[in-house]
Amino acid sequence: MSAAPGRTPAPVDVLTFGETMLAAQLPGPLTVGAQARTTLAGAESNVAVGLARLGHHAAWAGLVGDDEPGRLVLRTLRGEGVDISRAAIHPTAPTGAMLREQRVADLARVHYWRRDSAASLLTATDIAPALHDGARVLHLTGITCALGPGPQEAVREAAAHAHGRGWTVVLDVNHRKRLWTAGEAGEALRPLLPHLTVLIASDDELPVVSDAFTGSPDDEQRAVGALLEAGVREVVVKRGGAGAAFRDRQGVRHSVSALRVPVRDTVGAGDAFCAGYLSGLLDGLPPEERLERANTLGAFAVASEGDWEGLPRRDELGLLSAAPGSTIR
């Protein structure tokens, strides 16, 4: 693999890696010839952009093809201030792609072209240089594990490496049913639990990583307790419009309500939430304030078009407290 152009390698605040794809977004069905807006999409790079906009040194160490979509990915991330000095270019495999069409009303439909993509061929060797450079936080997602055996092994080795060196290791479960079943995801992700500092999951993703579900109203707390017993230090549960919750091994618990904003596009909200939570960790905020920042970034995401385009910079974090329809002068 050849190294992608970028800044000189340096220890970073957050290291992440995974698949970033060319994304075509259509305001209507593809079959009627709706015009597309081209951008990029990827859970890990969404988080990296969110962190970079808040002034953190975030690095993305993914793998792209030696093609125009790959060049778009690298140029866009570099332009957003993400460190791509340890990203790499595969000489023959293509960059993955996705198409999202607004089918009817607020129902969107997504199509993927990721089989045999460069990212699906990622190996532990590809990310070794980035791990060697060091980081305060390693951010992982279940999506990368679902791409194939190479990416799954890369995630496992990265988690063990980071945990062994005292980094903060964060996993966003980010279960994608079109990539694998809940059973397959659980089998792959549960071995990571002893290495994790933070596990982030939506309330409906908890069964993927915890067997402690019985169908009772106490399922969430039982599942969180089982995850903490398995070695995770803190669990963050995303509840969408109902807010979010935190619990750690010391018994500290917090919950916060979601911000009320006009919903324009929910895709990318979970990644924005993760970026906000990691930003709060890096800034040394207490758990409740981390959740509030996470909810703030999630609200920016759902109130904006695109996966990452509407995410705030640090001086914009307070914008959502303005009255609806305000003009900031």
DSSP 83: B
Task: Please say whether the beta carbons of 76 and 20 come within 8 A.
Answer: no
Q: What values do phi and psi take at 174, rounded to 5?
A: 45, 55
- Looking at this protein, which amino acid is placed at residue 269? A
Alpha-carbon span 15 to 136, nearest angstrom:
8
Measured in whole angstroms, the distance separating CA 180 from the mean position of its chain's CA atoms is 17
Of 271, 283, 307, 315, the catalytic one is: 271
271 is catalytic: yes
Question: Residue 1 to residues 122, 141, 246, 328: CA-CA distances in angstroms?
Answer: 10, 23, 40, 47
Alpha-carbon span 115 to 121, nearest angstrom:
10
Alpha-carbon span 100 to 27, nearest angstrom:
9
- With H, G, I as helix, E, B as strand and everything else as coil, classify residue 322: coil
Q: What are the b/e assignments for 77-87, b being 16+ CB within 10 Å?
A: bbebbbbbbbb
Question: Residue 29 to residues 4, 46, 97, 99: CA-CA distances in angstroms?
Answer: 35, 25, 17, 10
Task: Please say whether the beta carbons of 272 and 238 come within 8 A.
Answer: no
The DSSP line for 258-324 is PP----S--TTHHHHHHHHHHHHHHTT--HHHHHHHHHHHHHHHHTSSSSSTTPPPGGGTTGGGSPT
Q: Which are the catalytic amino acids? A: 271
